[in-house]
């Protein structure tokens, strides 16, 4: 489109994003975003995807960012829109996902009147976005839009607040692209120092996160492992490449006393795109800091700073083998017990190569994780920020980023009920997502945490806050109500049939796994 055909600030803004490589816009727009909505008609390179709730919008943008490695835009309606999207932006922050949030605000002159929808959007967004700016003019808006994309590429959500008048103003022309500052490669002196420390250590360990938990990083980490370095990843990482033929790092354990036991004896902790490990929650009388006392802690690569290359350089410095062959293992079929592990065992047998798992299933997720280790190569997207409810939205975004991959969402009936309307967007987009809901009719993790936090035995009032079995939700009806085909599995055989049939087709499906 020539400059002459750009009508409004919104047109210029959308074209600026398009020029910067943004291809997708997850949206739940309102009145203050109307110019941005019609600008999408004139920006065919940016695909609009509608969601019925802003949490779906931001969660989908997170999943998209994790798989595409670049930001999608979101369209959010003033402060309440950001608020509804907040929890998944929190998770995205912890996953360091690139996202560009576009928040329509009241027109500049209208803001001071404190109309009903007015609130402090910048303060709100500032709790989850490392980059928050407000445009005062259309001209500034396009400049900031280009900067927002660059900022997002640094591993964060960037929030651009757009007063309505900056978008209905005449087009100032497309904004100049802005280059993302690239982190400096890790200095050779650092590589040498870490290599020397590893040689001198009895039980060295390297802890991975960020880009280091994907293919290149893990291939290099496997070489380190071959020369005696223990390799772990954080308990929750944005994206872990795993499955047959891939090196599998140990995963930091969730409960602090187990993590402490697991790490005992480690005398050198090397951090690669991460920070010293801490427990998820604090518990009375239990440790929060997981680094063993007396262990030396060194940083190989800062967060966001070229971990895979640093790992490869370190492998060289340690004289590690050039590559490590990870033998494939036969898959064991499901055992006689019917539980969450069964689901992983059945899933492993049918998972196609390149599949993506979006997991916020909490208690059921871990057994599935354990039992899918030797499935075909796949990507595992984790609940990085602890805010349940991202499982379905992240799956939606991942599916739109990677239309040729099968996506599987693993969610609990508790977590899944946070944003069930995601199912509708899956149906609408015919996203290739198989949603598996573990129906245990409880906030199972809380039954476990109750004792651990010293809160004692639940009586009837507490018990009622931990059980969600009254009434039992019917996920089949809910899924069908949103336009999805759905079925229920009561045992390994029926689950096998349902998963097999789901894998044979493209498009959204839901399986309720009746656990109790």
Q: In the complex, what is the shortest distance from the CB of residue 418 to a copy of itself, in angstroms, rounded to a whole number?
A: 5
- Of 417-456, binders to a copy of itself (CB under 8 A) are 417-418, 420-421, 424, 427-428, 445-446, 449-450, 453-456
Dmax of the chain from CA atoms?
Answer: 70
Place of tokens 């009254």: 470
* Min CB(401)–a copy of itself separation in Å: 19
The contact mask relative to a copy of itself for 194-223 (x = CB under 8 A, - = no) is: ------------------------------
Residue 123 engages a copy of itself in binding (rule: CB under 8 A): yes
Does 506 participate in binding a copy of itself (rule CB under 8 A)?
Answer: no
CB of 35 to a copy of itself, least distance (A): 5
Say how far apart CA 204 and CA 265 lie, in whole Å: 9
What residue has token string 């980023």?
401
Concatenating the DSSP letter of every residue in 342-373 gives: HHHHHHHHHPPTTEEEEEE-GGGHHHHHHHTT
| Residue 236 sits in the site that holds a copy of itself (CB under 8 A) | yes
Give min distance, CB of 430 to a copy of itself, in A. 10
Least distance in angstroms from the C-beta of 59 to a copy of itself: 12
DSSP per-residue letters across 58-117: HHHHHHHHHHHSSPEEEEEEHHHHHHHHHHHHHHHHHHT--EEEEEEE--HHHHTT--TT
Please state the closest distance from residue 317 (CB atom) to a copy of itself, in A: 31
User: CB under 8 A: which stretch of 76-84, 134-142, 325-333, 336-344 binds a copy of itself?
Assistant: 76-84
Binding residue for a copy of itself, selected from 15, 90, 211, 444, defined by CB under 8 A: 90
| Interface size with a copy of itself, residues (CB under 8 A) | 106
CB of 433 to a copy of itself, least distance (A): 15
Question: Of the candidates 19, 23, 45, 50, which one interacts with a copy of itself according to CB under 8 A?
Answer: 50
- Euclidean distance between CA atoms 54 and 204, whole angstroms: 44
Binding mask 124-143 for a copy of itself (x = CB under 8 A): x-xxx---------------
Nearer to a copy of itself (CB atom), residue 29 or residue 65: 29
Q: 40 vs 219, which CB is nearer to a copy of itself?
A: 40
Q: Which is nearer to a copy of itself, 11 or 496 (CB)?
A: 11
CA 98 to chain centre: 10
381-400 binders of a copy of itself (CB under 8 A): 384-387, 389
Query: Does 40 participate in binding a copy of itself (rule CB under 8 A)?
Result: yes
For position 66 contacting a copy of itself by CB under 8 A, the verdict is no
Report yes or no: 246 and 218 within 8 Å, Cβ to Cβ: yes
CB of 258 to a copy of itself, least distance (A): 16
Enumerate residues 99-118 that contact a copy of itself by CB under 8 A.
Answer: 106-107, 109-110, 113-117
Choice between 360 and 379, CB closer to a copy of itself: 360
Ramachandran sector of residue 315 (left: φ over 0; alpha: ψ -120 to 50; beta: rest): alpha
Which of 160, 164, 152 lies closest to 126, judged by CA? 160
Cα–Cα dist 142/375, whole Å: 46
Nearer to a copy of itself by Cβ, of 131 and 475: the residue is 475
Residues numbered 465-484 forming contacts with a copy of itself, rule: CB under 8 A: 465-466, 468, 470-478, 480-483
- Tokens in use for 424? 């509708």
Q: Which is nearer to a copy of itself, 204 or 416 (CB)?
A: 416
* Minimum distance of a copy of itself from residue 205's CB (angstroms): 19
Cis previous bond, 471, omega within 30: yes
CB of 117 to a copy of itself, least distance (A): 4
Rule CB under 8 A: choose which of 279, 342, 411, 435 binds a copy of itself. 279
- Picking from 305, 324, 322, the residue whose alpha carbon sits closest to that of residue 248 is 324
Q: Which of 72, 76, 86, 434 binds a copy of itself (CB under 8 A)?
A: 86
Q: Is 187 one of the binding residues for a copy of itself (CB under 8 A)?
A: no
Question: How many angstroms separate the CA atoms of 264 and 171, rounded?
Answer: 62
Tell me which long-range contacts 131-136 makes (C-beta under 8 A, separation of at least 24): 131/156, 131/157, 131/158, 131/159, 132/158, 132/159, 132/161, 133/158, 133/159, 133/160, 133/161, 134/105, 134/160, 134/161, 134/163, 135/160, 135/161, 135/162, 135/163, 135/166, 136/108, 136/163, 136/166
Q: Which is nearer to a copy of itself, 110 or 405 (CB)?
A: 110
First to last CA, the chain: 58
Please tell me what DSSP assigns to residue 263: H
For 185-282, strand residue ranges (E) read: 204-208, 230-233, 240-242, 250-251, 268-272
Q: Is 369 in the site for a copy of itself (CB under 8 A)?
A: no
Instruction: Select from 48, 173, 228, 245 the one that contacts a copy of itself (CB under 8 A).
Output: 48
- Six-digit token string for 295: 């262990």
CA–CA distances in Å: residue 313 to residues 113, 189, 203, 272: 58, 11, 20, 13
Contacts to a copy of itself from residues 139-178, by CB under 8 A: 164-165, 168
């Amino acid at each position: 489109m020539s400059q002459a055909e750009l009508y409004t600030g919104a047109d210029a803004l959308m074209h600026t994003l398009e020029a910067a490589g943004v291809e997708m816009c997850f949206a739940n727009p309102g009145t203050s975003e109307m110019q941005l909505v019609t600008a999408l008609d004139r920006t065919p390179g940016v695909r609009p995807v509608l969601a019925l709730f802003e949490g779906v919008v931001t969660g989908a943008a997170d999943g998209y960012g994790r798989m595409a490695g670049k930001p999608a835009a979101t369209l959010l309606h003033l402060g309440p829109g950001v608020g509804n999207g907040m929890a998944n932006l929190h998770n995205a922050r912890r996953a360091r996902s690139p996202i560009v949030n576009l928040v329509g605000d009241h027109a500049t002159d209208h803001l001071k009147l404190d109309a009903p929808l007015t609130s402090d959007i910048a303060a709100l967004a500032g709790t989850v976005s490392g980059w928050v700016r407000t445009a005062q003019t259309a001209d500034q808006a396009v400049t900031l839009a280009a900067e927002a994309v660059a900022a997002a590429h640094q591993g964060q959500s960037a929030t651009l607040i757009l007063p309505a008048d900056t978008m209905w103003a005449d087009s100032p022309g497309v904004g100049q692209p802005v280059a993302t500052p690239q982190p400096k490669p890790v200095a050779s002196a650092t590589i040498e120092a870490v290599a020397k420390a590893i040689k001198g250590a009895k039980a060295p360990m390297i802890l991975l996160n960020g880009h280091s938990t994907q293919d290149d990083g893990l291939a290099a980490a496997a070489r380190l492992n071959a020369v005696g370095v223990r390799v772990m990843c954080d308990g929750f990482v944005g994206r872990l490449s795993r499955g047959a033929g891939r090196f599998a790092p140990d995963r930091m354990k969730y409960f602090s006393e187990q993590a402490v036991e697991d790490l005992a004896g480690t005398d050198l902790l090397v951090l690669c795109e991460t920070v010293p490990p801490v427990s998820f929650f604090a518990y009375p009388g239990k440790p929060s800091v997981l680094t063993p006392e007396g262990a030396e802690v060194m940083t190989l690569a800062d967060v966001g700073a070229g971990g895979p290359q640093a790992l490869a350089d370190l492998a060289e410095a340690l004289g590690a083998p050039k590559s490590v062959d990870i033998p494939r293992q036969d898959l064991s079929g499901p055992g006689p017990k019917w539980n969450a592990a069964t689901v992983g065992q059945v899933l492993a047998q049918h998972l196609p190569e390149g599949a993506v798992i979006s997991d916020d299933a909490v208690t059921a997720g871990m057994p599935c994780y354990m039992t899918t280790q030797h499935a075909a190569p796949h990507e595992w997207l984790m609940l990085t920020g602890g805010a349940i409810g991202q499982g379905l939205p992240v799956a939606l975004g991942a599916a739109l980023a990677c239309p040729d991959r099968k996506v599987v969402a693993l969610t609990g009936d508790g977590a899944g009920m946070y944003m069930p309307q995601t199912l509708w967007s899956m149906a609408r987009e015919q996203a290739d997502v198989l949603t598996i809901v573990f129906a245990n009719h409880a906030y199972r993790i809380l039954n476990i945490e109750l004792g651990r936090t010293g809160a004692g035995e639940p009586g009837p009032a507490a018990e009622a806050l931990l059980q969600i079995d009254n009434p039992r939700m019917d996920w089949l009806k809910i899924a069908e109500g949103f336009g999805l085909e759905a079925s229920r599995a009561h045992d390994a055989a029926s689950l096998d049939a349902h998963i097999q049939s789901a894998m044979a087709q493209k498009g959204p499906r839901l399986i309720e796994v009746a656990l109790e």
